[in-house]
Structure formats: structure tokens, C-alpha cells
Amino acid sequence: MAVTWLRRLANQAPVPVFPVVGIAGEAALEALYLSPAVTVVQSPKRARALAVMGSIDYRDQQALRRVHGQVPAPRVTAWCSAMAVPQELSGSAIVVDATDQLGQQIQQAVHSLDAGQQSSDPNLCPDQPPAPWKGVGDGHGGEGMMGGKPYGRPMAMPEDDLRDGLQLDPLVFSIGPFSPLLPPGMAAKVTLHGDVIAGWEVLSRPYELTLPAVFYQALEQPVAVADLELARAAFHIRRLAAALQLNGLGAHARRLRHHAVELKPGQSIDDLVNARVLQSLRWVAGAGKGIVHDENWIRLRGPAARAGGDARDARLNDPAYVALGFEPVVQKQGSCAARWKQWRDEAGQALTLAAAAAKARAMSSPSGAVESPVGELTKSTPPVDISDLMPSLLVGLEWSEAMSVLASFDMAAVRYTDVIQLQGGGE
């Protein structure tokens, strides 16, 4: 009796879900963030369910299996993807088509799993130790400490430190492609000396980004400037939310995500997020870090370029925007903080522009190039990937600084070709 009472209480809490985001999975992830039935967690070990959203590249199937195995059993796998469900999971995974139903269906599935009405997913990886014990006894000492295999995984070999030349052990691991700290699909081999990054090798590039459909439509036909600008504001606001969350301001991030779905023209950005909170974020976490120097500068695009003082903006060539008196905002420093400021300012500007455009019923005029939230979008050359710039930016930074720098870029290339074919189907 007491147990069922406790169970009922437990069932009222949101279910922790670990998201695996694939190609075109961004919208489902945002829906998951907003669902009151679930909480999105940072590590599968604390989750009860795995949500696979969007298609996962073939090269990452093994990583997907590994992450799946790290959700403690009994678990639920939710499949919100154009991909076929793997054969082993076909009996147990729940397939969800509508993204707004995702949270609720996961919660229901976990409850029926707990009630014993449903069985857990099978494990996809074989239950074998990654590197069996080879030392003597079962302690942490044993023979062959130096570079040998006392047990389990090998020990690190000392190497020269980056800053002071001491000889200590580097911590080497690969992170991603499903780390919430990196863009979906990005994987990197990291070498840490203490908590300073000594090496960052990009193992795989992020999945191509799917922009809101209105930006693709604007390439082909006139669309309402107000719609374009609202979509732009929502995009930047979600990126800001991620930066806030990373730096320990999860409640403010949640607030922004909720606002991002119901933006109205003319809203003030200060009503959405406390200006002082953002200012302290920039001061504390982003000042003076992640500045792109030398010849790579030219590869930055959109807000990232404007954050460094480059006023390139495709909107300047659009008569509708000129009529509205559009002037691009720019920052000077080109640092992590400047890029966050740029997102905030551009979101604020977009909301103001949207109000003016809604009043004037302004329509964009397609001219072959649209200023998307991540830079100039044209039919021939959509924005390309800049994840290869990261090693030069991140090496030498502390871990927390490096993660802030990563969260200040839109690294992924923009997906183009097949989106045009699907055009009109998406929202």
C-alpha cells in the first residue's frame, strides 16, 4: 500500500530524458525542452529514457548504441526520426511522429514500464569489460602501472605540459557525437593537461543544420519580413539559452526557451531576459576569449563576423529592409562575449524590425541571397562548417572557458538541397 502511494507520487514528477539529436532533430529537441512531462538531462546515466530525434549518420550508429547502453535499465527508447528503428529495439521502442507529443508519450511509456506492463529495451552492446584485468590482485596498484594494463583501461604516459613544462599525465578521450556540450554530430579527441585543453582534434564535423523553413522560402518567393525576423529572433534566443544553461543559469535558459516559441513583434528583449544577468554572463564567462585571428577571420559569417566589426549583411541588399531603415548592429571585440552580445542585440533588433515590418506589411524580395541567423544563405553556397577553426581557438583554454567559446559559435554547415524538396512540408 505504502509502496503504491510512493509510486504514485513518483509518477507525478517529470521523467528525465537524455536527447540524442540527429540531422533535422532540432525542432523535436526544442519541443522536448518545453514539455512539462520530462526534464532534459545532461547525462544518460541520470535518465530513464533516451529520445532519438532526427536521423543519425551511419558513422555514428556505434556511438548511439553506446549512449543507449548508458541509460540504466529498465529504460525506454523514444524514436522521433525518419530513420528506421534498429531491429533489436523494434519490439520495445516507442515511435513518436508528432514532436509536441514526445514528452508525454515518453512519460507514459516510463510509467507503464515501472508498472511492469512493458518490458525494457534490450542492451545493444555486448556485456564485456572494455579491457579485462591483467594485473595482480584486484586493487588499483598491481604490476605494470607505467603504460601497462594493471586493470581495465591503460594508464596515461607522462608528457610535457603546455604551460610550465612539468611532466604529468595527459587525460585523453574522445567526446561526442552526442555530447550536449557540442553541436549534434560533432566529435573531438581531447587532450587535457589538468583542466587546460592541450589538444583538440575534430574527429567528425557537426551535422548540417536545418534552419526554420521561412529562410529557405525567402530564397524562392517573397515572404513577410515580420516572419523572417521573428524566426531569426527565436533562433538567436535559443542559442543564448544554451549559453546561459552552460554557465549555471538554467532557470533563465528555460524562461528564454518558453518565450522563443511565442515571440511577438515589438517585444523588448529586456522583458525576455534580464539585461544584468546577460551582462554578468558576458563579463564572467566570455570576456576576451575565443577571438579568431589571422586568415581564418574571413571564414566567419553572419553574427559571428558582425561580432568582430564586419558589417556584411545580405539584408542591406533588400529594398524592404532598406525601407525599414535597417542598419546592421556590430560589436568590436570579436570575442565569445561579443558574439553573445551580438545574438542578444540582433534578436532585439529583429523584434523591433518585425513590429515595423508588420505595420508596413513589408515583403522581402528574393534576390538570390537571404541573411539567415547563421550567415548569408544562397542557393549555390550555403554557409559551410567552421568546426575546424576550433583547435586553434580552444587549445590553451581552461575547460569551462573552452565550453563557453564553443557555445558562442554556430559551427555547423547549413543543410540545403533536400530541404528545398521538402519545402512547404515543414513548419
Partner 1 sequence: MELKQLLVLLLVVIITAGFGFWVQHVPGESKKSIPWPQRAPFLGGGQPDTHAWSRFHIRYYPMTLLLIAFEMEMMFMYPWAVVYVSEGIKALAEMGMFLGILSIGILYGWREGAFKWQ
Partner 2 sequence: MTSTLLIASACTVLLALLVGAYCVAAIDGAITARVTGQTPGNPLLIPLQNAARLWHAPHNETETPDRPALRLAPVLYLVLAAMGLALVPWSRDFVPVDLTTGIVFWGAIEPLATVLVFLKGWAPNAHFPLLGAYRYVSLGLSYILVSMFVLIGVALPAESLQISAVVDTQAELWNVVRQPLGLPLFLVVGLGVSFWGPLNFIDADDLHGGAASEEAGRVQLLWSTGRAAMLLAFSAIAASAFLGGWHGPWLPGPVWLILKTLAVVVLLVILGHTLPRVSPERFLTIAWVILLPLSFLSLAGAGVEALL
Residues that bind partner 2 (CB under 8 A): 6-7, 9-15, 36, 41-43, 45-46, 48, 72-74, 114, 129-130, 140, 151-153, 171, 173, 179-181, 192, 194-195, 244-252, 254-255, 258, 274, 277, 280-281, 284-285, 398-401, 403-404
The answer to whether residues 78 and 106 touch, using CB atoms and an 8 Å cutoff, is yes
Q: Does 55 bind partner 1 (CB under 8 A)?
A: no
Q: Write out the DSSP string of 32-84.
A: HHH-TTEEE-S-GGG-SEEEEESBPPGGGHHHHHHHHHTSPSS-EEEEESSSP
Whole-angstrom distance, CA of residue 214 vs CA of residue 419: 11
Instruction: Check binding of 156 to partner 1 (CB under 8 A).
Output: yes
Q: How far is the CB of 225 from partner 2 (least distance, A)?
A: 28
Tell me if residue 199 falls in helix, strand or coil: strand
Q: Does 311 bind partner 1 (CB under 8 A)?
A: no
266-269: long-range pairs with CB below 8 Å, 24+: 266/351, 266/352, 266/354, 266/355, 266/358, 267/351, 268/348, 268/351, 269/344, 269/347, 269/348, 269/351
Q: Return the CA Rg of the chain.
A: 23
155 contact choice in partner 2, partner 1, none (CB below 5 to 8 Å, kind-dependent)? partner 1
State how far the Cα of 129 lies from the Cα of 137, in Å rounded to an integer: 17
Binding pattern for the stretch 56-85 against partner 1, x by CB under 8 A and - elsewhere: ----x--xx-xx-xxxxx------------
Which CB atom, from 10 or from 384, has the smaller least distance to partner 2?
A: 10
- Residues 108-127 as x/- pattern, contact with partner 1 by CB under 8 A: ---------------x-xxx
Q: Is 116 helix (H, G, I), strand (E, B) or coil?
A: coil
Among 194, 266, 366, 426, binds partner 1 (CB under 8 A): 194
- The set of cell numbers assigned to 117 is 506492463
User: Is residue 175 within the footprint of partner 1 (CB under 8 A)?
Assistant: yes
- Indicate whether 200 belongs to the interface with partner 1 (CB under 8 A): no
**Residue 21 lies near partner 1 (rule: CB under 8 A):** no
d(C-alpha 164, C-alpha 193), whole Å:
11
Residues at the contact surface with partner 1, assessed by CB under 8 A? 43-45, 60, 63-64, 66-67, 69-73, 123, 125-130, 140, 152-156, 158, 161, 163-164, 166, 168-182, 187, 193-196, 398
